[in-house]
């Protein structure tokens, strides 16, 4: 059992949805499908240890200032109720509740907060309340994408006082600019997150590194 999943811990699985994780998705993240077996192992480990598991999902309306066609940044993705917004079918998706974000057109990068693009106001999601109600003090974070929704979720978790671990083997970046993923990991670490490298730990244990 991974020691992260002791009492008071939650595993947060960020935005592992078809539009991000499938190569044919509207905003496909390179290499995303490769992390699915790893995340499933983490979900199993968390469940066995009795840790809380929660998922996040982008859940946008068909038109939103978030999308380039409506004046925003991104191609259309994760429109609520569509195939693209569904959790990838190869991810274990029944281990806990899912928090949907951006459903009223907000920028919903973080699992904890959303920002109204018209007013700039920030509003919370229900995630913090869910974690507090389950006595969570530590969060372990994996999912998509390293340089956007994972980064924002991790930084918010730290700001809210959670001990925060990032599963480096369980995230992948969008990388609009080369190196964005590594820069995001470095930023999270500087902010106080612990970067967890399962593959390196396994290699050391087996005498391969």
Q: Which residues are known catalytic residues?
A: 15, 101, 149
Beta-carbon contacts of 160 under 8 Å, excluding residues fewer than 6 positions away, are 112, 128
Closest residue by Cα to residue 55 from 122, 188, 149? 149
What radius of gyration, in Å, describes the C-alpha atoms of the chain?
Answer: 16
The reply to whether omega before 117 is within 30° of 0 (cis) is no
Cα 30 to Cα 5, 24, 85, 131, 181, distances in angstroms: 28, 11, 17, 30, 12
Q: Rounded CA gap, 100 and 147, in Å?
A: 19
- Taking the chain, what is the end-to-end CA distance rounded to the nearest angstrom? 22
Cα dihedral 145, 147, 152, 153, rounded to 10, equals 40
């Amino acid at each position: 059992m991974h020691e992260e999943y002791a009492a008071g811990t939650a595993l947060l699985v960020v935005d592992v949805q078809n539009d991000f994780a499938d190569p044919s998705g509207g905003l496909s993240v390179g290499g995303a499908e490769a992390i699915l077996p790893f995340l499933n192992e983490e979900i199993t480990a968390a469940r066995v240890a009795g840790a809380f598991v929660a998922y996040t999902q982008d859940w946008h309306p068909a038109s939103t200032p978030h999308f380039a066609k409506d004046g925003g940044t991104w191609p259309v993705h994760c429109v609520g109720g569509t195939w693209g917004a569904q959790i990838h079918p190869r991810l274990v998706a029944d281990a806990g509740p899912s928090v949907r974000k951006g459903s009223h057109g907000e920028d919903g990068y973080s699992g904890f907060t959303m920002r109204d693009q018209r007013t700039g106001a920030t509003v919370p999601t229900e995630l913090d309340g869910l974690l507090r109600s389950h006595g969570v003090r530590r969060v372990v974070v994996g999912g998509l994408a390293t340089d956007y929704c994972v980064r924002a979720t991790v930084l918010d978790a730290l700001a809210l006082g959670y001990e925060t671990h990032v599963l480096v083997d369980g995230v992948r970046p969008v990388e609009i600019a080369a190196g964005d993923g590594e820069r995001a990991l470095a930023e999270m670490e500087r902010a106080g997150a612990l970067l967890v490298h399962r593959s390196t730990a396994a290699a050391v244990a087996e005498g391969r590194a």
